[in-house]
Structures are given as C-alpha cells and as structure tokens.
Amino acid sequence: MGIRIGGHIEKVNGKEVSYSEFVQKYMEKNQPVVLTGLMDDWKACKDWVLDNGKPNLQFFSTHFGKSRVQVADCSTRDFTDQKRVEMSVSEFVDHWLDNSLQELGSALTNQSNGHPVLYLKDWHFVKEYPEYLAYTTPLFFCDDWLNLYLDNYRMHKDPDTYQANNEISCSDYRFVYMGAKGSWTPLHADVFRSYSWSANVCGKKQWLFLSPSQCNLVFDRNMKSSVYNIFDDVSEKEFPRFKEAIWLECTQEQNEIIFVPSGWYHQVHNLEDTISINHNWFNAYNLSWVWNLLLRDYNEAKEYIEDIRDICDDFEGLCQRNLAANTGMNFYDFFVFITCFCLANLVQLCYLLRDCKSIQSLSSVAQELALNLGSVRKIVDKLKSVGGLAGNHGFFLDMRETLDDPRFFHLCTGLERVYGMIHKQQSCCFDTKKDLVDDLRDLDTTRTYGSQAFTAEDLISFIDNAITKLSCTNCEGIVLPSEWDGA
C-alpha cells in the first residue's frame, strides 16, 4: 500500500516576498515553502552546470578533486542512515562517470548495472573553499546563530575525544550534496531540530514531508525507532500507525530553494543527477525546538544508564557526556551558546540605544534584538525549571572575559551586519572593539551581577538587570516582547 499524499508545498517567487513576510508566514508558523528567483547571480549555477543542465563533474575534479568527502551508498543501511565511506572528490566523480556509462549500456540491454548509487553528502564546501564564492545565502536565511557561532567557537569541547583532523567535520552546517538520479536520503528530522534550506543548483528532487503534529505516526510502539524508507513495505506490526500519516509532496526543480521548518520529518529522492547546497540553522524563532530536543534526548540518555546510577561517581556528568556524543551538544554547551548570544544582542542594543533620543528613532533592529533577548530568556527559564544545570562542574561563561575575546567581537560584528542587511539599515559599525566592550560595561551589569554565568538564574538576573538599566536610560525606547514577564 502506498503513502497518502494530502497536498503539495506552496511555491512563491522569492523576489516578491519581504523578510518580515517570510518570518510571519514561514519561520514563525514553521511552514515549508519553495522559493524561486533567488539564485540568479550564483557562480555555482554557472560553473557547476553544463549547457545541457547536467552537473559539470569535470569542473569538480579539476578544481576540488583532492577534497576528502563523505559518500553514502544508497543501497545500504546503517541504523537510521546509509553506510558511508570516505573518498576524494575525484574518486567520487570517476565512479559517477563510470556508472553513467555502464547505465547507458544496461539501458540498451534493459538490465540493471548492479553498481551502488553513491551520494556525496555533507561536504563542508564553504569552510574548505572560503575564497571561491559559489553562492550568497539568501536574506531569508541569514539570521543564522548556529553557523555564526561555529565560525568563531566550537560547539562542544571534549578533551577526551578532541581530534585535530575532526576540525572540518564539526566546523559548520553549510553543505554541498551531489548525487546521480536514484540517490536518496532516508526519512529523518534535521539535526538539533534546526531549520534548513536546500537549493538545487542542477537537477530535480522529490520531497515528502510530514508535519510535526503527525510525527508520532512514523514511530514504533515504544516511540524509539522511526520508519527508514516510507516507500518500503512498512511492517504494520512494528509501525502500527504509519498508514494514517498524511504527507505533503514537492517536486523541487533546478534553481528552486526549499525551506524545511523545524521538526518536520522528510525523505528526499534525486529524480535527476542533482547538485544542491544546503544549510542548517537556528535563531530566536526556533530556539525552543532545539531546547525541546535536548531535553528529550537528555531524558533518554538518563533513562538508558539509570541502572548504573548508584555505582557512578558522576552520574549527571556521564548523562551530559552521552548527550553531547549523541546529539552534538549538551546542556552546558547550549547554555554557553545562548549566554553568548544574549551578550551579543545586548551589546548591540546598548550601542543602538546610546544615541537614541526617542521611540520614533528606535530602529527595527533594536526591536529585533529585544525580541531575541525575550526568546532567549524564555528558554533560560525552561532550563531553570528543569534544574538543567545541576551538577555543573565549572562550565560557565565569563562575561568579562568574553567581552575581551576577539572571537566574540567577530560574532557581534557578524550579527550586526546581518540585522543591518535584513532591516536595510546603515550599519552602525562598532568602530573599535573597545567601543563595543565599553558600552556594555557602562551599563554596570557585569559589575553588579558578577561576571560569571554558572546557572540559569544568573543569566536571567543578568538579562533582566541589563534591560531594566537600558529602559531607565532610554526609557520608552525598548518595546519588550509581550511574553517577557510571563516566560
């Protein structure tokens, strides 16, 4: 029995959508959409595609052939994913070209060539070739805290498992995918329950989506494992409610970009030889998805080792280590991450409000920063309510040290550039690092509340105190998000 298709994904011309419309209709409502018209000037669309619309594989061998990449064999399974091997881009291209030739021969004799379909995935192309500007991230996807953070910091530092050669693979969530017709990606929801966008430089993809409200339907009775391939003959005994699921379908053509919202399960098939560019990201609008996943995975990690609690010296520490290994970050990593963004948003807010004389002159950037702070505060409150940082063995963010850290300065200038672009406002440009740091110091917040955020309570006090002080000096200026008090 096939799957039930309940509808298709909306397609709109990206040039006719404003940023605030995109936020309201898609990011806030967590709805998928396909955007056209946003890839006109991409170098990738010229260099990577032949006149007949096929991938220019020779270009990859010539210019990027030595890169080591992860390649999935689409006919194999490794738990929830396909088996992967590492090879060079040249080897991958040779295999692809070989296979196409044999495919042609087999088509003539009406036989399958029996070769595996390989799919190059998760290639950190931008990190590896920063000078080659293959594309520009469309404005809708620029408020990206995840990649901005990873451009400056590591998400999880574990001295036991740290490997220098792992640098690239943990470095960011900006990828290139390349696969021949027939390559595919099994059913999944994205890492950290981030948003993602995926742009077809050439080729065509079929996407099948399941909304988060129906995701329980693809799980087994124990809610432990999910269906791998929705086109398989899925066992009713194992997945009793699978047949109730109603899917949304989309055929994504060349030069179209799909926005994948948080927590939507999806399966993807390359209907033609396809190259795509793909980012994962999160920001104030989907931060709660990240937190909810972390909490769920933490509870699972804890339950898994519950029977050794009594003989464990540091049970909580072990839970957090396992959480980081399975999910890619733990509560402490997340706490340091949000504290850092909280500080960066405050720094910018201080800077903008310094010269603000009245509410009229308060920019939409400042409103956005206040909204971000409100969203972070809400999450910190949730972290507090589950006692999420109990047993914190020295994981904290020293705010004063952070303010002096060049990496933090880069993060702030990155954030400032993004909101300047989004709100089409003249970048105010922190003239010097000193400017930026002095502004927050002027607020006296780090002095009053101490400089180190160890606990969720510390961070809440810090945010509230900073906002109160800012509101006193620029009173009517800041319009706090309505849910500020009731977090």
Ligand X SMILES: O=C(O)CCC(=O)C(=O)O
Beta-ladder partners of 199: 257, 277
Let me know if 361 is exposed, middle or buried by CB neighbors in 10 A (0-12, 13-18, 19+): exposed
Residues 6+ apart with CB under 8 A from 276: 176, 177, 178, 198, 199, 200, 201, 203, 205
Considering the rule CB under 6 A, would residue 226 count as an interface residue with ligand X?
no
Strand spans (E) along 19-80: 33-36, 68-78
Task: Say how far apart CA 71 and CA 201 lie, in whole Å.
Answer: 19
Task: Say how far apart CA 88 and CA 67 lie, in whole Å.
Answer: 5
For strands 68-78 and 265-270, give the pairing. unpaired
Nearer to ligand X (CB atom), residue 137 or residue 198:
198
Shortest Å, Cβ 177 to ligand X: 5
Shortest Å, Cβ 78 to ligand X: 16
Shortest Å, Cβ 353 to ligand X: 38
Task: Say how far apart CA 301 and CA 459 lie, in whole Å.
Answer: 26
| Given 82, 254, 262, 278, the residue binding ligand X (CB under 6 A) | 278
Shortest Å, Cβ 106 to ligand X: 24
What does the buried/exposed string (b/e) look like for 74-97 if buried means 16 or more CB atoms within 10 Å of the residue's CB?
beeeeeeebebeebbbbbbbebbe
Shortest Å, Cβ 482 to ligand X: 32
| Given 196, 339, 348, 375, the residue binding ligand X (CB under 6 A) | 196
| Residue pair 36/14 in contact by the 8 Å Cβ criterion | yes
Shortest Å, Cβ 188 to ligand X: 7
| Residue pair 219/239 in contact by the 8 Å Cβ criterion | yes
Provide the 3-class DSSP secondary structure of residue 388: coil
Nearer to ligand X (CB atom), residue 126 or residue 346:
126
Considering the rule CB under 6 A, would residue 190 count as an interface residue with ligand X?
yes
Q: Which of 317, 343, 340, 339 is nearest to 330 (CA)?
A: 317
Nearer to ligand X (CB atom), residue 251 or residue 392:
251
Considering the rule CB under 6 A, would residue 286 count as an interface residue with ligand X?
no
Considering the rule CB under 6 A, would residue 211 count as an interface residue with ligand X?
no
Name residues contacting ligand X, limited to 310-369 (CB under 6 A). none
- Give the max Cα distance, the chain: 80
Considering the rule CB under 6 A, would residue 200 count as an interface residue with ligand X?
no
C-beta contacts of 443-448 below 8 A and 24+ residues apart:
443/346, 443/350, 443/469, 443/470, 444/469, 445/346, 445/469, 446/399, 446/400, 446/403
Shortest Å, Cβ 440 to ligand X: 37
Nearer to ligand X (CB atom), residue 250 or residue 379:
250
DSSP 24: I
> What does residue 205 show for φ and ψ, rounded to 5 degrees?
-125, 145
Contact characters 137-176, ligand X, x per CB under 6 A: ----------------------------------------
Nearer to ligand X (CB atom), residue 196 or residue 348:
196
Q: How many residues bind ligand X (CB under 6 A)?
A: 11
- Token output for 336: 């340091």
Considering the rule CB under 6 A, would residue 9 count as an interface residue with ligand X?
no
- Token output for 85: 């091997």
Residues 6+ apart with CB under 8 A from 354: 439
**Of 80-88, 190-198, 429-437, 442-450, which part binds ligand X (CB under 6 A)?**
190-198
Considering the rule CB under 6 A, would residue 276 count as an interface residue with ligand X?
yes
Nearer to ligand X (CB atom), residue 116 or residue 391:
116
Shortest Å, Cβ 314 to ligand X: 35
Contact characters 233-272, ligand X, x per CB under 6 A: ---------------------------x-----x-x----
| Given 185, 327, 372, 402, the residue binding ligand X (CB under 6 A) | 185
Shortest Å, Cβ 39 to ligand X: 16
Interface residues toward ligand X, by CB under 6 A? 177, 185, 190, 196, 198, 205, 260, 266, 268, 276, 278
